[in-house]
């Protein structure tokens, strides 16, 4: 093993699932650029123009090669390669390298230092910019290899179907992958929006990102990669691994055949809905059997905006989603800004614990009129169902409901804070429906940051404490005769979705890619099986026990 972290047979490494599917195969790792000591000497003044020309030619050669590959690829892969080629010719970092060469640095050192300067900047900016750091380092390695007369670094061509494991994958490498030879992807870094994730989705390669401990798994080790659960099992029992692959293939076949609408095998109807973030996603989601939208995350439309969009602009954007689902149920969530999704125009205060700070519905107080303008836009677009994020008290729910009704909208709230789940009955006195956000509900119930790969075991939605709070909310819904849905990631796990139905959930809303799998699994089981599984799960003490109990009753 290449690291001091002990990774032994059967170790289960956890990450963030990106593309579902299960594969059992040996590991391959991308070739790295051999460690090159950046030369310390200065280039004589007379030789600097030549050194500069050498650098310009190397950067241009790298960009040309990437553009050629873009021309031979299609879809997202082609776009990613073209974007990397553009970055290879980006004037900002080229200029920074040139400046160093003019001052006497050899080209290899100039490239390394200039790229690191921008890596620091991107890392500080965080979010999507930080995910571009891998792209920059990839360009650095390619230009340095070119300058040093070495072959381009990248993914080796495997002899047998393999799982590609890497710290992170350069977009240019991922875009050229052959899905018949690279059957799984796992990375130590990267988020669900990284280029690795985007390409993996396009190529349909099962993928897990942000896998803790992956660096210690060497090439040729056999692993079981589960892109649905987000796990990589090192050296699993071969028979169990083969069974897991076969079961996943069978589920995938069932999912492909499922056409909706959502119901158990004995006809108990459960609306299967989809989560979207803009019109394009809604139009794509319309191709799935989803009956409507259970969560439209409006804040994601405005992450790059410096100023608040006008009511008209907002209405146009919301109308795109409503039009895509033409008359079907669409639940629009008001801005859930703050924490991991800051909006520039909201003016977030500096906070020590932003996840516990001014986010969700709490931004309305410091931004007078922002909620009203959004509600006005939703009404103007022809929306009906609207819900508020991060509700903690019945008073907040009442205030939101009054404001939403003033615009003729049907108000609901998200249940993401344990306090709201515990007092769901009081909240339901004011609103027409609840939607449980299990991502935040798990975060706040377990006091564990949902972004932390290290704490993924705690934020697992199978945690019985989280499911006990779901049960409290669904009981309140049943007593009030009002719908209670789930729109967090829990609804995307087919087995857990059945448990949620057993707990009394009336709708399930998940990412488009997860919809067929959830619908197909629900269609395999009877309502009583779901209820038995729910009872069994509530009697367990750990997420592992909960999973096992449900699997035993629902398989
Ligand atoms: C949730 O918290 O489960 C949820 C659906 O909201 P978001 O993931 O956008 O915070
Ligand atoms: Mg949330």
pLDDT at 3 > cutoff 60: no
> Binning pLDDT at 50, 70 and 90, where does residue 160 land?
confident
Q: Per residue in 183-229, pLDDT tens?
A: 999 999 876 666 677 778 778 899 998 888 899 999 999 999 999 77
More reliable by pLDDT, 392 or 510: 392
Can you tell me whether residue 333 is helix, strand or coil? strand
Give CA angle at 205 (201, 206), nearest 5°.
95
**What is the per-residue pLDDT for 453?**
62
More reliable by pLDDT, 204 or 553: 553
pLDDT at 272 > cutoff 60: yes
Which residue's CA is minimally distant from atom 1 of ligand 1? 437
Do 320 and 282 meet the contact criterion of CB atoms below 8 Å apart? yes
Which of 297, 340, 421 is the best mutation target for the ligand 1 pocket, counting ligand atoms within 8 Å of the beta carbon and taking the most? 297
Strand partners for 164: 28, 185
Mean pLDDT of the 289-318 span: 95
What's the 531 CA to ligand 1 centre distance in angstroms? Answer: 25
What's the 171 CA to ligand 1 centre distance in angstroms? Answer: 28
Q: What are phi and psi of 228, to 5 degrees?
A: -90, -45
Mean pLDDT of the 267-291 span: 94
Do 133 and 12 meet the contact criterion of CB atoms below 8 Å apart? no
What's the 91 CA to ligand 1 centre distance in angstroms? Answer: 38
Q: Per residue in 54-109, pLDDT tens?
A: 999 999 999 998 898 788 777 766 787 888 899 999 999 999 999 999 999 999 99
**What is the per-residue pLDDT for 475?**
98
> Binning pLDDT at 50, 70 and 90, where does residue 291 land?
very high
Q: The tokens of 222 are what?
A: 């056999």
* Cα 326 to Cα 161: distance, rounded to the nearest angstrom: 43
**What is the per-residue pLDDT for 110?**
95
C-alpha 327, offset from chain centre? 28
Strand partners for 411: 386
> Binning pLDDT at 50, 70 and 90, where does residue 366 land?
very high
Mean pLDDT of the 324-348 span: 91
* Cα 13 to Cα 513: distance, rounded to the nearest angstrom: 23
Q: Compute CA distances 92 → 65, 96, 117, 250, 273, whole Å.
A: 21, 6, 11, 50, 44
More reliable by pLDDT, 20 or 516: 516
Number of H helices, E strands in the chain: 22, 16
**What is the per-residue pLDDT for 11?**
81
Weakest-pLDDT range from 29-33, 468-472, 541-545: 29-33
C-beta of 336 in contact with ligand 1 (< 6 A): yes
Mean pLDDT of the 24-28 span: 96
C-beta of 438 in contact with ligand 1 (< 6 A): yes
More reliable by pLDDT, 176 or 136: 136
Is residue 195 annotated as a catalytic residue, yes or no?
Answer: yes
**What is the per-residue pLDDT for 151?**
75
Which residue's CA is minimally distant from atom 6 of ligand 1? 437
Q: What are phi and psi of 187, to 5 degrees?
A: -130, 150
Q: Which atom of ligand 1 is nearest to the CA of 389?
A: 6
Q: Which atom of ligand 1 is nearest to the CA of 297?
A: 9
**Cβ within 8 Å of residue 45, ≥6 positions away:** 104
Each as own residue / partner, the long-range contacts of residues 318-323 (CB below 8 Å, 24 or more positions apart, any chain) are 318/377, 318/378, 318/381, 318/383, 319/381, 319/382, 320/278, 320/279, 320/282, 320/283, 321/276, 321/278, 321/279, 321/282, 321/293, 321/296, 322/381, 322/382, 322/383, 323/279
Q: Per residue in 448-498, pLDDT tens?
A: 988 776 677 888 899 999 999 999 999 999 999 999 999 998 998 899 999
What's the 488 CA to ligand 1 centre distance in angstroms? Answer: 5
What's the 253 CA to ligand 2 centre distance in angstroms? Answer: 32
* Cα 339 to Cα 87: distance, rounded to the nearest angstrom: 30
Q: Which atom of ligand 1 is nearest to the CA of 487?
A: 5
Q: The tokens of 435 are what?
A: 């939607």
Q: Per residue in 121-143, pLDDT tens?
A: 888 887 777 767 888 888 998 89
Question: How do 16-19 and 12-14 pair as beta strands?
Answer: unpaired
Locate all alpha helices (DSSP H) within 26-155, ordered by sequence: 48-72, 75-88, 91-102, 107-125, 127-130, 133-148
Q: Per residue in 405-451, pLDDT tens?
A: 999 999 999 999 999 999 999 999 999 999 999 999 999 999 998 87
**What is the per-residue pLDDT for 288?**
92
pLDDT at 1 > cutoff 60: no
Q: Which atom of ligand 1 is nearest to the CA of 488?
A: 3
**What is the per-residue pLDDT for 9?**
63
* Cα 467 to Cα 144: distance, rounded to the nearest angstrom: 52
pLDDT at 166 > cutoff 70: yes
Which of 295, 437, 486, 492 is the best mutation target for the ligand 1 pocket, counting ligand atoms within 8 Å of the beta carbon and taking the most? 437
Can you tell me whether residue 426 is helix, strand or coil? helix
Is residue 348 annotated as a catalytic residue, yes or no?
Answer: no
Going by C-alpha positions, the residue among 423, 425, 463 that lies closest to residue 443 is 463
Strand partners for 13: 232
pTM above 0.85, yes or no: no
Weakest-pLDDT range from 29-38, 153-162, 202-211, 317-326: 29-38
> Binning pLDDT at 50, 70 and 90, where does residue 150 land?
confident
Can you tell me whether residue 546 is helix, strand or coil? helix
> Binning pLDDT at 50, 70 and 90, where does residue 4 land?
very low
Question: DSSP secondary structure string, 348-398?
Answer: PPP-S-GGGSS-GGGHHHHSTTHHHHHHHHHHHTT--EEEESS--SHHHHH
Weakest-pLDDT range from 190-194, 197-201, 332-336, 499-503: 190-194
Question: How do 231-234 and 222-226 pair as beta strands?
Answer: antiparallel
Mean pLDDT of the chain: 90
Which one of the listed residues 165, 487, 498, 530 is annotated catalytic?
A: 487
Q: What are phi and psi of 21, to 5 degrees?
A: 130, 150
* Cα 86 to Cα 67: distance, rounded to the nearest angstrom: 9
Q: What are phi and psi of 272, to 5 degrees?
A: -100, 115
* Cα 462 to Cα 534: distance, rounded to the nearest angstrom: 11
**What is the per-residue pLDDT for 5?**
45
C-beta of 416 in contact with ligand 1 (< 6 A): yes
**What is the per-residue pLDDT for 10?**
66
């Amino acid at each position: 093993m290449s690291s001091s972290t002990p990774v032994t047979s059967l170790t289960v490494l956890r990450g963030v699932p990106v593309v579902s599917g299960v594969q059992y195969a040996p590991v391959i790792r991308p070739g790295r650029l051999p460690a090159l000591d950046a030369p310390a000497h200065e280039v004589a003044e007379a030789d600097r123009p030549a050194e500069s020309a050498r650098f310009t030619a190397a950067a241009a050669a790298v960009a040309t090669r990437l553009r050629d590959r873009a021309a031979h690829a299609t879809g997202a892969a082609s776009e990613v390669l073209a974007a990397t080629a553009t970055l290879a010719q980006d004037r900002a970092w080229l200029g920074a390298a040139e400046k160093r060469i003019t001052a006497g640095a050899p080209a290899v050192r100039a490239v390394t230092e200039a790229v690191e300067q921008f890596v620091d900047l991107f890392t500080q900016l965080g979010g999507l910019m930080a995910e571009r750091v891998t792209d920059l380092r990839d360009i650095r390695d390619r230009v340095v290899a070119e300058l040093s007369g070495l072959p381009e670094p990248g993914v080796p061509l495997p002899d047998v179907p393999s799982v590609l494991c890497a710290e992170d994958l350069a977009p240019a490498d991922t875009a050229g992958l052959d899905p018949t030879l690279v059957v799984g992807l796992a990375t130590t870094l990267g988020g669900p929006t990284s280029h690795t994730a985007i390409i993996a989705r396009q190529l349909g390669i099962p993928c897990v990102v942000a896998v803790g401990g992956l660096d210690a798994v060497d090439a040729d080790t056999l692993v079981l990669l589960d892109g649905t659960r987000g796990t990589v099992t090192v050296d699993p029992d071969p028979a169990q691994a083969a069974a897991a692959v076969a079961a996943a293939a069978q589920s995938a076949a069932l999912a492909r055949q499922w056409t909706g609408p959502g119901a158990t095998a004995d006809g108990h109807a459960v609306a299967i809905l989809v989560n979207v973030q803009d019109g394009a996603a809604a139009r794509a989601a319309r191709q799935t059997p989803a009956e409507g939208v259970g969560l439209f995350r409006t804040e994601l439309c405005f992450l790059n905006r410096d100023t608040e969009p006008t009511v008209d602009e907002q209405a146009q954007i919301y109308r795109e989603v409503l039009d895509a689902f033409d008359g079907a149920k669409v639940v629009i969530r008001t801005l859930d800004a703050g924490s991991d999704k800051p909006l520039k125009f909201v003016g977030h205060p500096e906070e020590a614990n932003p996840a516990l700070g001014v986010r969700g519905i709490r931004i309305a107080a410091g931004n007078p009129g922002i909620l009203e303008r959004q509600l006005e836009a939703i009404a103007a677009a022809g929306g009906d169902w609207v819900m508020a994020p991060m509700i903690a008290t019945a008073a907040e729910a009442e205030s939101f409901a009054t404001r939403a009704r003033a615009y003729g909208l049907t108000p609901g709230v998200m249940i993401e804070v344990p306090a709201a789940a515990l007092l769901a009955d009081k909240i339901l006195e004011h609103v027409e429906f609840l939607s449980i956000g299990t991502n935040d509900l798990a975060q706040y119930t377990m006091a564990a940051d949902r972004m932390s790969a290290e704490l993924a075991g705690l934020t697992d939605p199978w945690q019985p404490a989280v499911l006990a709070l779901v049960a409290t909310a669904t009981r309140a819904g049943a007593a009030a005769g009002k719908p209670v849905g789930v729109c967090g990631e829990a609804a995307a796990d087919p087995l857990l979705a059945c448990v949620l139905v057993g707990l009394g959930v009336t709708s399930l809303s998940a990412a488009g890619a997860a919809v067929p799998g959830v619908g197909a699994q629900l269609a395999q089981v009877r309502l009583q099986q779901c209820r038995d599984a729910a009872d069994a799960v509530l009697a367990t003490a750990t997420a592992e026990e909960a999973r096992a109990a449900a699997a035993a009753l629902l398989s």
